[in-house]
Amino acid sequence: MTMARKRMLDPKIWESEQVMSLPAEAFKLYIYCINHADDEGRMRVSYPMIKSRCFPTNNHTISIQTVEKHIVSMAQDGLIWLYEVAGDWYLAHPNWHTYQTINHATESKLPGLPEDYRSPTVVVPPNLIKGKLSKDNIHSAVESQIDEVFEYFKTKTGSHASPKTESLRAMIRARLNDGHTVDDCKRAIAFVEGSKRGDEQQQQFIRIKTIFAPGNFSGYLDSQLSYTRGKE
């Protein structure tokens, strides 16, 4: 297990619906995972060790199984990546370098994500699947995230685009598979809508196809984050 490091907590964390909806125990675990990740945002997962360090005085109220459940739930929600390599479990943080500025970073000694990890499903420990966490159910959770992004887009822009259009869903799904969160998607939408509102010539760019295009999305998201930080 790595030693804790000095890490940045972006003020936006307090505005994230996903993070703020975490139970108190899970929120503490999430901060712990940020604090103990290496310079590339990776961390070895040992549930007994995490439990003993994060909840040293809660031996009777918080079990190792509870810690495991919370971390798996965070992976399902897209807050972390959870993956297995050669029988060992690791986690990594999506968009790590967007929110962390690390001088003289040390190369990670931990394995990165498997090549086949980026799919509409999330890898979870087999002993936690037990039917209710099946791949089909996890896939459905991802599709629900796409529905949430689509609904936000329509509400924010007044668009009449159909959420059943697979080509548009595929573009949102691709960005989620890249490791972006639902909140990231909403920020990109908000930036494009706000920056182009009232300009008839720019209205054509307020579209799913434009916002979620691979060459555009990160730029819109970075612009939104820079704009927000500039106001603080």
CA separation, residue 142 to residues 71, 76, 84 (Å): 17, 8, 20
The residues near 183 (Cβ < 8 Å, ≥ 6 apart) are 12, 16, 17, 18
Report how many helices (DSSP H) and strands (DSSP E) the chain contains, helices first: 10, 3
Q: Of 152, 153, 151, 124, nearest to 136 (Cα)?
A: 124
**CA dihedral sign of residues 59, 60, 64, 68:** negative
pLDDT tens track, the chain, 232 positions: 445 567 777 777 787 888 888 899 999 999 999 999 998 899 999 988 999 999 988 767 888 889 998 998 888 888 888 888 887 889 998 878 777 777 788 888 998 877 655 433 344 444 433 333 344 444 566 788 899 999 999 999 888 888 888 889 988 988 887 777 888 899 899 988 888 776 666 677 788 999 998 888 888 888 876 655 444 4
**DSSP secondary structure of 214-226:** HHHHHHHHHHHHH
The CA distance from 11 to 89, in Å, is 29
**End-to-end alpha-carbon separation of the chain, Å?**
35
pLDDT of residue 232: 47
- Grouping H, G, I as helix, E, B as strand and the rest as coil, residue 174 is helix
- Grouping H, G, I as helix, E, B as strand and the rest as coil, residue 159 is coil
pLDDT of residue 215: 82
pLDDT of residue 30: 93
pLDDT of residue 196: 72
Bridge partners, residue 83, by sequence = 90
β pairing state of 81-85 and 88-92: antiparallel
218: its two tokens: 């990160």
Q: Where are the alpha helices (DSSP H) in the chain?
A: 17-20, 24-35, 47-54, 64-76, 96-99, 135-157, 166-177, 182-196, 208-211, 214-231
Domains and CATH numbers, the chain: 11-124 (1.10.10.10), 137-231 (no CATH)
The CA distance from 164 to 167, in Å, is 9
**CA dihedral sign of residues 101, 106, 107, 110:** negative
